[in-house]
Amino acid sequence: MILEELKKNELDEIFDKKAKDIIKFLLNRTLICYPEFLKEQTEKSIYLEKKQCEQWIVQSLGLVPVGEGSYPIDGISKNKIGYDISNLNWGITKGNKEKKETGEKSLAQKFADENFGDDLENLDELFTKGKKNEILIAWKEILKNKWNATIKEKSLKKIILINIIKRQDKNKFYIFGIKINVKNIDNCEVDFSKKSKDSVFINNFINEELGSVKIYKAKKRLELRLKPKKWLENGDFIEFNFIFNNKTKNLRDEFTSNKKGFLKEIKKDFEKFIKESSN
């Protein structure tokens, strides 16, 4: 497989006690500073922004931050391991059942036609003609160039994906780790059992019990989705629980008629946070 699940003992080697303590601290500080909701808002769960999550991992692991925007990795450890950090939501259905897969993680995105052939046969044309093997061959080269160039440029031993998975209906999130085996890229193949004119599904990229990978025509992107239930069954995760009050306040009203009382309430929250962080 190209993407290989990190076992619990491997995760614990990366995230020692100090790293976990720092993540808990940064999470709780995020919660205490989170903007209040208005009464009419129906969605009142916490939103974790990607750049923020990247900073949590960079700080907790003591990484050297690298790259901006679409650079393949976000940080490098002292022992020359590159880390690509993502945050994914694990949602629930309308029937309040957990979804099978998370949201998508982009593994690569290319818009230029020259990545997929000559001017007469770009990615859209390959999809129109149903040339799925040719599409996959092009994306194999894109991935090789992306990951191998990063490994060479930064003198890396390997690249690891760190995935922060937020459980949408519960106050918890998980960390899943994935090792990238670049040498296995040529072993993946098109899954012709899944019929779609707008996507190419891929076998032998990741264990199908752990996730799925497809090439998505509309966004010109290679996407990974994880299947958290199996990760949890395997025990290969780190879990963080938190308390989120989902406070409902109209801040214009508070600042108009109760500013001192509101700020006093905020002060108490911060004092409690500092006290708990000191233990």
Q: pLDDT for 192-230, tens place per residue? A: 888 888 889 999 999 999 999 999 888 888 899 999 999
Which tokens in the block code for residue 141?
């080269």
Strand order in the sheet with 189-190: 105-109, 221-226, 211-216, 199-203, 189-190
Q: How confident is the model at residue 46 (pLDDT cuts 50, 70, 90)?
A: confident
pLDDT of res. 96: 79
Average pLDDT over residues 44-69: 86
* Closest CA relative to residue 220, chosen from 200, 205, 204: 200
Distance (Å) of CA 276 to CA 28, 57, 107, 279: 10, 21, 38, 6
Query: Model-level pTM?
Result: 0.89
Strand partners, 81: 158
Taking residue 237's Cβ as centre, other Cβ atoms within 10 Å add up to: 19
- Give the integer Cα–Cα distance in Å for 17 and 23: 10
Taking residue 185's Cβ as centre, other Cβ atoms within 10 Å add up to: 19
Q: pLDDT for 105-154, tens place per residue? A: 999 876 565 555 655 667 778 888 888 888 898 889 889 999 999 999 99
Strand partners, 200: 215
Phi-psi region of 62 (alpha: psi -120 to 50; beta: other; left: phi over 0): left
Ranges assigned E (strand) in 77-183: 81-90, 105-109, 158-167, 172-180
Q: pLDDT for 222-240, tens place per residue? A: 899 999 999 999 999 999 9
